[in-house]
Amino acid sequence: MGQAVGGFGVGLMLAVAGAAGFSFKAILVKLAYQYRVDAETLLALRMAFSLPFFLVMGWLAAKRAERALTARDWVWMAGLGLFGYYLASYLDFLGLDYISAALERLILFLYPTVVIVLSALFLGKPVTRGMLAAMLLSYLGIALAIGHDLEVSGPAREVALGSVLVFGSAVCYALYLMGNGQVVGRLGSARVTAYASSFACFFSLAQFVALRPLGLLAEQAWQVYAYAGLMTVFSTVAPVWMVSEAIRRIGAGPVSLTGMLAPAITMLLGWWILDEAIGPYQLAGMAMVVAGIAVMARGRG
């Protein structure tokens, strides 16, 4: 009994640490932007540092797999990498140049609402009145949070642009989750994560080569490399492992609940590290978004 409780405690700590790691990404991006690096270069550095880890993960997963991937499976992996990690990350990095880290995390947190809408439109899944009410509550919360950014961040046009870009990131991630659900049971989560992430790294590096001189990667301030490295370890590789291990120990349900902490963690980190202001509108907006997502998660469960 004591071992079971201890195992649950370790799993819960891993889940919370994973949520904190993912939440820390926006802070690191904002810190790196202080050194005049653009989104394309910073994303390329993050992906270049992450690629070896994903390749090793893919190699280990392939050794344990019962069957090889088909050509169709590789197309799926490329598509998931395109939407789930490359486009979602790129739009997110672009948006963070215009809005606060706290607002970015709240908007990204809307991805379950996008999944529900897309599932209703393309898969015929029903949407209950309770879900619609929860969605309305979440989007009203986002409106309050945007109002806070309009007061303390920048011009309305920039806040609007940043919000649209980050919402586009949430849409891409929702598409990734829907596609992931079509193949993960057949191919295994380890292979899907490793190969899709590797494709995303290649897409990001190819974009950089197409848009920027290659030498630009070597001309950044040392702080940019440091933040990209921290992003790789603490906001990419380690959280992926911690969340996976937490799910193994305590199950997907409790782990998904710890994800509800992400907006609050990002808001507190933004206040502590970036000196981002926290106001009543932002706090109320966060509470409404988290409450709405929690209701939807319970309804879908």
Which letter, b or e, does each residue of 174-203 get, where b requires 16 or more Cβ atoms within 10 Å of its Cβ? Answer: bbbbbbbeebbeebbebbbbbbbbbbbbeb
Q: Model confidence over 114-125: pLDDT tens digits?
A: 888 888 888 788
The token pair at 229 is 């490295």
Check residue 120 and give its pLDDT: 87
% of the chain beyond a pLDDT of 90: 50
Token pair of 101, please?
Answer: 């880290």
Radius of gyration of the chain (CA): 19
Q: How confident is the model at residue 258 (pLDDT cuts 50, 70, 90)?
A: confident
Rounded Cα distance between 129 and 38, Å, is 43
> Alpha-carbon distance 230 to 148, whole Å?
29
Q: Are 26 and 105 in contact (CB under 8 A)?
A: yes
pLDDT of residue 213: 93
pLDDT by residue (tens digit) across 171-225? Answer: 998 888 888 778 877 888 788 888 999 999 999 999 999 999 989 988 999 999 9
pLDDT confidence tier of residue 3, bands split at 50, 70 and 90: very low
Q: Render the burial of 267-280: b for 16+ CB within 10 Å, e for the rest.
A: bbbbbeebebebee
Say if residue 6's pLDDT is above 60.
no
Kind and range of the H or E run holding 239:
helix 238-250
Tokens, residue 240: 């992926």
Q: Indicate the pTM of the whole model.
A: 0.90
What's the pLDDT at 33? 97
Question: How many CA within 13 A on the CB side of residue 122?
Answer: 9
Q: Which residue has the higher pLDDT, 102 or 298?
A: 102
